[in-house]
C-alpha cells in the first residue's frame, strides 16, 4: 500500500523532512509561476507576436500532459526523492539556458520553444514525485495525511497566488531576462532542500520494471520501449480496476473541464464587459484567494473529522449554486461573496482526493498512476479553456454563463449517484480499503510483493 492511514509513535516523530518538503514544493511552485509570467513576457518583448506567445503556452501544455502520462514510470524506477531532485535541476538548467543564450550567442524562437517543452517534460515527473513523498514524510512526522495534504495544497496555492505578483514586480523593475535567472535559482534551492532535508533511508526504494509480467524475463524478448509502455499501461490498468480512483478521476476531470475555465477565460471577459475594469477582476481573484485560504484552514483543523463523501457533494453543490448567482450578473460585492463561499466549500475537497490517492495507490505504481491522473485532469481543464473561449466568441457572455451553471450540475449528481464512493469514510478507518474492508486486489498484491 502507498501509505497507511496511521502515523508513527509521536515520541519518535521527525517533522523536519515534512517542513523541508513543504519548503521545496513552495519554492519550486514559485519558480513555475515566475516562469509562467516571465517567459510569455519575454516572447512578447522579443517577437512582438501574441500568436507565438500562445504557441509557447500550448507547447508547455502538451509537454505536461505527455510527461504526466509517460513520465510516471521514471518516478517509479528512479525513486521519488531522486526524481524530485533531477526534475528541479533539469528545470533550473532549461530556464537558465534562455537568458544565457539570449545574452551570449542569441536565442531563436524555435530554440526557446524547445527549451520550454523540455523544461515542462523534465519538471512534471519531479512534481509527481513530491506528491508521493508527502505520504512518507507524514508517517515520519506522525502527521495525518489529511493535514499533510492540506498543508501541501496551501503552500502551492500561496505560491500560485504570490508568484505572479512577484513576477510582475520583478519584471517591471529588472526586465524578464534577470527574472529568468532568479527563476532558475529557485529550482536549485528546491533541489537542495529535498537532497539535504529528506533522508534517503525513509524514502520508498525504487522499483525496476513493474508489471504483471516479470521484467527480467522480458528483458531478452521485448525492446526497452516495449517494457516502458507496458509499465505505463500497468498504471492505467490500476486506474481502470479501482472503482474509487476511477470515479474520482471522472469527477475532478469533469470539474476541470466544466468549471475551472471560468477563472482563466470567463471571469476576465465578465470583468471587461460588465464592470469594464481590470481592478474588479483583481478583486474577484482576491476573493478567490481569501476563500481558498479559509477553506484550507477549515480542512486543516477539521479535515480528519469531516465526512469525505458529504464534503465532496457539498463542495461541488455549493459551486453550482454560486454559479447561478453569477448568471444573474449581480453587483460586484455579491460576486465577491459568492466566490468566497464557493472556494470555502470547494477547497476542502482537494485534500480528500489527494489523501484517497495516497491511501489506495501502491508505492510501486505511485508515479505512473498519479502522473496519469493529474495529466488527464490538466488536459481536461485545457480543453475546457478552449471550449469556453469559443463559446464566448460564438454565443456571448450571458449564454455562456447559463451553460456553465447548467453543465456543472452533472458533477454533484455523479458524486451522489455513484455507489463506489459510499465507502470513502469507511476506507479512512481501514487505510484505503473499501467499506467492506477489502482493498483493490492489484494494490494488495503489489503491497505484499506478489507483483513486480
- CA–CA distance, 31 with 48 (Å, rounded to integer): 24
What pLDDT does 147 receive? 92
Q: In Å, how far from its chain's centre is CA 59?
A: 18
What pLDDT does 430 receive? 53
What pLDDT does 161 receive? 79
Whether residue 431 contacts residue 1, with contact meaning beta carbons closer than 8 Å, is answered with yes
Residue 387 CB-density burial (10 A; 0-12 exposed, 13-18 middle, 19+ buried): middle
Query: What is the homologous superfamily of the domain 234-444 according to CATH?
Result: MFS general substrate transporter like domains (1.20.1250.20)
Grid cell, residue 74, equals 521514471
Q: What are phi and psi of 438, to 5 degrees?
A: -100, 135
Give whole-number Cα distances, 166 to 75, 172, 201, 289, 318, in Å.
Answer: 31, 10, 37, 16, 32
Whether residue 345 contacts residue 295, with contact meaning beta carbons closer than 8 Å, is answered with yes
- CA–CA distance, 116 with 38 (Å, rounded to integer): 12
Q: Please report the DSSP string for 303-352 in residue order.
A: GGGS-HHHHHHHHHHHHHHHHHHHHT---HHHHHHHHHHHHHHHTTHHHH
- CA–CA distance, 447 with 3 (Å, rounded to integer): 10
What pLDDT does 424 receive? 83
Grid cell, residue 291, equals 476563500
- CA–CA distance, 223 with 104 (Å, rounded to integer): 41
What pLDDT does 426 receive? 72
Secondary structure (3-state) at 289: helix
Q: Indicate if 234-444 has the same CATH topology as 11-203.
A: yes
Whether residue 452 contacts residue 6, with contact meaning beta carbons closer than 8 Å, is answered with no
User: Would you list the domain boundaries of the chain?
Assistant: 11-203, 234-444
Q: In Å, how far from its chain's centre is CA 95?
A: 21
Q: What is the pTM of this model?
A: 0.80
Q: Check residue 223 and give left, alpha or beta (phi > 0: left; psi -120 to 50: alpha).
A: beta
Grid cell, residue 172, equals 517591471
Radius of gyration of the chain measured on its C-alpha atoms: 22
Q: What are phi and psi of 436, to 5 degrees?
A: -80, -5
Q: Please report the DSSP string for 173-233 in residue order.
A: HH-HHHHHHHHHHHHHHHHHHHHHHS-GGGSPPP-SS-SSS-HHHHTTTS-HHHHHHHHHH
What pLDDT does 34 receive? 85
- CA–CA distance, 247 with 250 (Å, rounded to integer): 5
- CA–CA distance, 230 with 228 (Å, rounded to integer): 5
Enter the DSSP assignment of 361.
S
Secondary structure (3-state) at 242: coil
CATH topology of domain 11-203: Growth Hormone; Chain: A; (1.20.1250)
Q: Tell me how crowded residue 251 is: count the other CB atoms within 10 A of its CB.
A: 22
Length of the chain: 452
Task: Establish how many alpha carbons lie within 13 A of residue 364's alpha carbon, considering only the half-sphere containing its beta carbon.
Answer: 21
User: Average pLDDT per run of 10 along the chain, which is 452 residues long?
Assistant: 46 84 92 85 84 83 88 90 94 94 92 92 91 90 91 88 82 88 94 92 64 45 71 90 93 92 87 84 86 92 90 96 94 94 94 91 89 89 88 92 96 93 72 44 40 32
In the numeric block, the cell 480512483 is attached to 245
Amino acid at each position: 500500500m502507498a501509505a497507511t492511514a496511521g502515523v508513527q509513535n509521536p515520541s519518535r516523530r521527525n517533522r523536519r523532512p515534512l517542513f523541508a518538503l513543504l519548503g521545496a514544493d513552495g519554492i519550486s511552485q514559485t519558480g513555475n509561476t515566475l516562469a509562467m509570467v516571465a517567459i510569455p513576457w519575454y516572447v512578447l518583448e522579443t517577437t512582438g507576436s501574441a500568436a507565438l506567445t500562445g504557441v509557447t503556452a500550448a507547447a508547455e501544455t502538451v509537454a505536461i500532459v505527455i510527461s504526466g502520462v509517460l513520465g510516471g514510470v521514471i518516478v517509479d524506477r528512479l525513486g521519488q526523492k531522486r526524481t524530485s531532485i533531477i526534475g528541479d535541476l533539469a528545470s533550473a538548467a532549461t530556464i537558465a539556458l534562455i537568458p544565457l543564450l539570449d545574452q551570449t550567442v542569441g536565442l531563436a524562437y524555435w530554440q526557446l520553444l524547445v527549451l520550454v517543452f523540455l523544461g515542462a517534460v523534465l519538471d512534471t515527473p519531479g512534481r509527481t514525485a513530491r506528491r508521493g513523498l508527502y505520504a512518507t514524510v507524514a508517517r515520519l512526522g506522525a502527521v495525518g495525511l489529511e493535514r499533510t495534504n492540506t498543508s501541501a495544497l496551501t503552500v502551492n496555492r500561496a505560491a500560485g497566488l504570490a508568484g505572479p505578483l512577484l513576477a510582475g514586480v520583478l519584471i517591471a523593475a529588472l526586465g524578464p531576462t534577470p527574472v529568468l535567472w532568479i527563476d532558475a535559482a529557485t529550482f536549485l534551492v528546491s533541489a537542495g532542500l529535498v537532497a539535504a532535508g529528506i533522508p534517503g533511508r525513509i524514502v520508498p526504494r525504487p522499483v525496476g520494471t513493474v508489471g504483471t509480467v516479470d521484467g527480467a524475463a522480458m528483458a531478452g524478448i521485448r525492446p526497452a520501449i516495449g517494457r516502458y509502455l507496458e509499465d505505463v499501461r500497468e498504471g492505467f490498468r490500476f486506474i481502470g480496476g479501482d472503482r474509487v480512483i476511477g470515479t474520482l478521476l471522472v469527477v475532478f476531470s469533469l470539474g476541470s473541464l466544466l468549471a475551472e475555465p471560468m477563472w482563466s477565460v470567463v471571469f476576465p471577459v465578465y470583468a471587461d464587459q460588465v464592470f469594464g475594469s481590470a481592478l474588479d477582476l483583481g478583486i474577484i481573484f482576491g476573493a478567490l484567494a481569501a476563500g481558498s485560504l479559509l477553506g484550507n484552514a477549515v480542512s486543516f483543523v477539521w479535515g480528519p473529522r469531516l465526512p469525505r463523501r458529504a464534503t465532496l457533494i457539498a463542495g461541488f453543490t455549493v459551486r453550482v449554486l454560486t454559479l447561478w448567482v453569477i448568471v444573474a450578473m449581480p453587483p460586484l460585492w455579491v460576486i465577491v461573496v459568492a466566490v468566497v463561499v464557493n472556494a470555502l466549500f470547494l477547497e476542502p475537497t482537494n485534500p480528500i482526493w489527494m489523501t484517497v490517492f495516497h491511501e489506495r495507490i501502491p508505492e510501486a505504481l505511485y508515479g505512473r498512476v498519479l502522473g496519469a491522473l493529474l495529466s488527464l485532469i490538466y488536459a481536461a481543464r485545457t480543453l475546457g479553456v478552449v471550449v469556453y473561449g469559443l463559446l464566448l466568441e460564438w454565443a456571448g457572455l450571458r449564454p455562456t454563463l447559463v451553460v456553465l451553471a447548467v453543465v456543472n450540475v452533472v458533477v454533484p449528481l455523479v458524486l451522489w449517484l455513484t455507489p463506489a464512493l459510499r465507502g470513502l469514510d469507511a476506507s479512512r478507518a481501514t487505510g484505503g480499503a473499501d467499506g467492506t474492508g477489502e482493498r483493490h486486489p492489484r494494490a494488495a498484491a503489489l503491497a505484499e510483493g506478489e507483483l513486480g
